[in-house]
Structure 1
Amino acid sequence: MERLQKIIAQAGITSRRKAETMIQEGRVYVNGQQVKELGVKADIHQDEIMVDGVPLEKEEPVYYLLYKPAGVISSVDDEKGRRTVIDLVPPEKRVYPIGRLDSDTSGLIVLTNDGEFANILMHPKYKVRKTYIAKVQGMPLRESLKKLEKGILLEDGKTAPAKTKLIKTDNKKGSSVVEITIHEGRNRQVRRMFDAIDHPVLKLKRERYGILDLKGLNAGDWRELKPHEVKTLREMAAR
């Protein structure tokens, strides 16, 4: 027996937090009875659980690591008909991306049908680190990068401290390559952080997500996460 919100999240419907809202809104039924309380438990194998009138079936969790190319949308579908990350992974399983990468940002993104796992990786309180390689305009001074390391004020609040490393500069092209590590996931955050120090991003790639990296993959490639990777990410968040 498990709490309904956990069962719904594990079935890949949504995150546990959003599942709680669905329950409170009366959108969940167990054995024909409407449930609005969060403490109710059920058995996915024995009880009939309906969410928005659709029977809930327990799916085996799957976890994909995808090297998203630039120009691909981090969404399940796109109203403009553009290619999405879902088009690049096996169609047999219903999965969705954990968080988002901008269309013009390439790099590592995880897709899963495990809502609870997705919530752990996305929630800033769990501080799962994300490392990006940014090609930026100009040559940022150490003082400018220190502003990012201390946290910089954006229109939606001050960012958490970041880690930065100047990898190289190109005087002829007037650009630099900077590695930056953050654990938040605000919309276009890295780009806005560099805008704030007057060094706009020209090209951006997410290289690492927690313990995961892109070794052995080319843009458009994917692989399944290994069981120990899933376990380690959960343990990292728990710490």
Structure 2
Amino acid sequence: MGKDNLAEDAIRLNKYMSDAGFCSRREADRLIEQGKVTIDGQKAALGDKIFWNQIIAVNGREIEREEKRILIAFHKPRGIVCTTSKNDPDNIVDYIHMDKRIYPIGRLDKDSEGLILLTNKGDIVDDILRGSNHHEKEYVVTVNKKITSDFVRKMEQGVPILDTVTRPCKIEVIGDYQFKIVITQGLNRQIRRMCEYFEYRVIRLRRVRIMNILLGNLKEGTYRGVTDKEFSELKRLLKKR
């Protein structure tokens, strides 16, 4: 998710500091003028605007808004787009229609369905999305022709797509035309491209797990809060890398 989609959410630095309960806007301006405030490690200037996921510090100490963390698991229907842009009528934020501002963690193709996490906090977003962390995501995939052992073997070994070779993955065949796959990357339309390489076409793609968070019986188009137990385990897994 890039800043282009969040341009409308940029706010003035002094307002952020005030909303965080750190100081008044006037005091914030004074601290900025004195060079004591940084944005992502760079010295701030009066009038600067910031985005939700940037790190603001005063004298090296990070500050953030006093907001209760929101982390939800959403069963995205096919056709919904994982963007915050109001220019897209099918954007995920309007579909969920929560009274708090939330952001999708990563993406799930418009033509795909299943589990996606959304949050109002930026501190875990980068950890989950960082490809080097090898975090598992599991999908159930339906294809247009019968699955062969040769297809499975070659898929698991790694497939050349997008000028790279995919990491080894795990596949479990659950039907003549359906399999489960666990990947640790998030390349653009990765599973569809992997299948296309072997002349298979994906008919349906549903994500059922992100790390320790399961889709379970969550109905399409609905969401639930991630439990404290799930969040504790998620943090533990994030720290392992």
TM-score, normalised with respect to structure 2 = 0.74
Q: Does 1:52 align with 2:60?
A: no
Q: Does 1:150 align with 2:147?
A: no
SS in 1 for 2:230: helix
Q: Which one-letter code corresponds to 2:155 in the other structure?
A: L
Structure 1 residue aligned with 2:21: none
Q: Matched residues in 2 for 1:53 and 1:135: separation?
A: 43
Structure 1 segments of 4 or more deviating over 4 A? 34-41, 53-56
Q: Which one-letter code corresponds to 2:49 in the other structure?
A: D
Structure 2 residue aligned with 1:116: 123
The structure 1 residue matched to 2:102, chosen from 95, 106, 114, is 95
Within 5 A, what are the aligned runs for 1:142-221?
142-169=149-176, 176-221=177-222
Q: Matched residues in 1 for 2:222 and 2:182: separation?
A: 23
Distance 1:37 1:122, change over 3 A: closer
Shift of 1:228: 1.8
User: Are the aligned partners of 1:101 and 1:109 in contact in 2 as well (CA < 8 Å)?
Assistant: yes
Q: Matched residues in 2 for 1:139 and 1:30: separation?
A: 68
> What 5-or-longer segments of structure 1 have no aligned partner?
1-11, 14-28, 42-48, 170-175
Q: Matched residues in 2 for 1:53 and 1:167: separation?
A: 47
Q: Matched residues in 2 for 1:121 and 1:115: separation?
A: 10
SS in 1 for 2:153: helix
User: Are the aligned partners of 2:208 and 2:216 in contact in 1 as well (CA < 8 Å)?
Assistant: no
Q: Which one-letter code corresponds to 1:131 in the other structure?
A: E
Q: Matched residues in 2 for 1:111 and 1:149: separation?
A: 29
Q: Matched residues in 1 for 2:31 and 2:85: separation?
A: 32
User: Are the aligned partners of 1:72 and 1:82 in contact in 2 as well (CA < 8 Å)?
Assistant: no
Q: Matched residues in 2 for 1:183 and 1:190: separation?
A: 11
The structure 1 residue matched to 2:72, chosen from 42, 64, 69, is 64
Deviation string for 1:150-205 (max 9, x for gaps)?
11111231111111111111xxxxxx011111011111111111111111101111
Count of paired positions = 200
> What 5-or-longer segments of structure 2 have no aligned partner?
1-8, 11-28, 57-63
Identity rate of aligned residues, in percent? Answer: 28
Task: Report the aligned-residue RMSD.
Answer: 2.8
TM-score, normalised with respect to structure 1 = 0.75
